[in-house]
A = this chain, B = another copy of it.
Amino acid sequence: MSAPALGVCYYPEHWPESIWAEDARRMKDLGLSFVRIGEFAWSRLEPKRGDLRFDWLERSIDTLHGEGLKVVLGTPTATPPKWLVDEMPDMLPVDENGHRRAFGSRRHYDFSHEGYREECARIVTALAERFGNHPGIAAWQTDNEYDCHGTALSYSPVALAAYRAWLKEKYGTIDALNTAWGNVFWSMEVDDFDRIELPIATIADANPPARMDFRRFASDQVVSFNRLQADIIRKHSPGRDVIHNFMGRTTTFDHFDVGADIDVTSWDAYPLGFLDDRSDRDDEWKRRFMRAGDPDFQAFHHDIYRATSNGRWWIMEQQPGPVNWASHNPTPREGQVRLWTWEAFAHGAEVVSYFRWRQAPFAQEQMHAGLLRPDSGEAPAFPEAKKVAEEIAVLDIGAESGQSAAAIVFDYPSSWAWEIEDQGAEFDYFRVVFDTYCAMRRLGLSIDIVPASVSDLSGYGLVAVPALFAFTENLTQALAAFEGEVLLGPRSGAKTKDFAIPESLPPDLPADMLDMKVARVESLRGDVPVPTGAGAFRFWREFVEVGPKAETELASADGEPALVRQGNLVYMAGWGDEALLEATVKAMAERAGLSTVDLPDGVRLRRRGRLVFAVNYGNERFDLTTLGLGGTAILGSADLAPSGVAILEGTR
């Protein structure tokens, strides 16, 4: 892997052509390498049907290329122009209330609309043919932020037709579907795929397996929509990376599936907006980290997205200052933009690209900061980016670590399953997995995310599989062969793939692997924790029966098994709080021979090859040497100020 690089998002169509050259020069001087352009420019590229105007785009590419900048060209399919929408108004998606959505912002299309797919193919082909071999084009971005604003789900007639076809393809016969769905319940049996309806507007909840299949279908629609573009680009633009920019805490479609069709996963990282609007943390925590972001949220996504395209990943949009969309939009603490950037490199990012070059004074995002202010003055992120550029120019941070000490299985379908059947108001797949992740992080462990389809876990010391909806055959076999420690539960293997309770009760693993049954479960009020010897369960607990081959390693205060072990497999029979998860992971890590440390809330470590990166999200200075970490600081120092970054070499 090459040295890390910086980039920026730029909209030449927003600015007079007269300033493009100066912009390019300043980008170059700042130390940027990549510039993403074009992803919302359809109305300028084709102001009316067939009237293609690519010249301005070419001039802008030439200008950037002239300064040695590498262009990432976005396909403009997230913003079809009005004339196109007016030609086929049924391309607009329909919301869960049955209301047709409207033109006037972005992402106003239905993934299932064949006519729109043809239009996308047409414009992408035209762009790829024209620019596919331009020397300034280094990569392509397909569309922009799939599912942003909740657009992966549409309840339109075209979606219904596609869903029925998808079901017919999956099940073959309607009897197979009736059986798989358990449609005998409540007389839901149907005699033809054309009698299937979308799972909305029902009086009581629609059938979970029906809802699950709708979610699988909707995810598949995103995948095929993206693949259509990726295939065209590959054909016309050899040697360039195909990229898509994913988002934070977005699980509506399977990112592993989309990731398999592209070369590089990228994601759009807005730490302060995410903390305010997409975090389960309490008010005290949000107040404390208001200007820094959650200490684990970014890293968690870095690790997820390092997995979705086999290790290659970018940040396509990095928050540079206050944004315009969260409930509160504070300014980042000084140094924090640099920290976020370095943290991404610590987790293996190839490129961190800031959003955006210059704050636009008009339209929806006029309150979104950039590297430049609307008056072209330098915004606070500018010197921070510059500092990083100078640092990466002289530091050799070596190769990515390859494999971390620990791994967590992250599975998109599980998030759909537990959204469909939370069984308790607080149960949320992302949150359960994130809690496990945080426990490992507080102990200083570096973590890989792996999909549920993983077939080999060798090399890891510790693997966690929290709340997995249904085991894959691959994973079951991988676990059987694995020699490290495995942490399962709660709800792992709670269902068959058809969304039913396994015949011999969960977890759906062979008894010779784990000789226990979840006899029943309960969801609990937040003010009723279930104490154990070390920490407690909260929100969720399971009553398990332990067979002779397994043993109870920890019990609840009421005498029920809390941790059950069989060989290297441990099942946690509830949703552990911070203390329980940390104690459990710590003991298992020790057993696996992994060394751990006890980090304060704001300090986090990640090993990358020979180096250990440390960042300080906290409000207090922290001395890394108190952790017993040795080594030499090649960036910063072991005395880590708030927003500080240190890279230690030679640490044990």
- Residues in chain A within 8 A of chain B (CB atoms): 13-14, 40-44, 47-48, 76, 79-83, 86, 93, 97-108, 148-149, 151, 181-191, 195, 197-210, 276, 283, 286-287, 290, 321-322, 324, 327-331, 359-367, 369, 373-375, 377, 379-380, 421, 423-425, 498-505, 517, 519-525, 527-528, 543
Contacts and interface: CB of A to CB of B under 8 A. Distances in A.
A202 B99 CA distance: 11
14 contacts: A40-B186, A43-B188, A82-B191, A83-B195, A102-B202, A106-B204, A208-B364, A330-B525, A331-B520, A331-B543, A361-B500, A361-B503, A362-B498, A379-B519
A542 to B, nearest CB: 10
A505 B104 contact: no
Given A423-B367, A521-B322, A101 B327 contact: no
Contacts of A185: 14, 40, 360, 362-365
A141 to B, nearest CB: 15
B108 A202 contact: yes
SS of A interface (majority): loop
Contacts of A181: 362-363
Contact of A107 (B86, B203, B425): B203
Nearest to A332: B522
Contact of A363 (B207, B287, B367): B207
Contacts of A44: 184, 187, 189
A216 to B, nearest CB: 17
A151 B202 CA distance: 11
B503 A203 contact: no
A321 B375 contact: no
Given A182-B362, A361-B501, A324 B423 contact: yes
Contact of A197 (B102, B321, B379): B102
A375 B187 contact: no
B104 A199 contact: yes
A99 B330 contact: no
Contacts of A42: 187
A41 B13 CA distance: 58
A210 B188 CA distance: 37
Contacts of A328: 424-425, 523-525
| Most chain B CB inside 10 Å of its own CB: which residue of A82, A207, A208, A290 | A82
A522 B322 contact: yes
A202 B105 contact: yes
Contacts of A367: 421, 423, 521
Contacts of A149: 203-204
Contacts of A528: 287, 290, 330
Contact of A99 (B97, B204, B359): B97
A247 B504 CA distance: 33
A204 B368 CA distance: 15
A79 B186 CA distance: 6
A206 B101 CA distance: 12
Contacts of A498: 362
A74 to B, nearest CB: 12
Given A204-B106, A364-B207, A189 B81 contact: yes
Nearest to A76: B187
Contact of A375 (B360, B421, B500, B503): B503
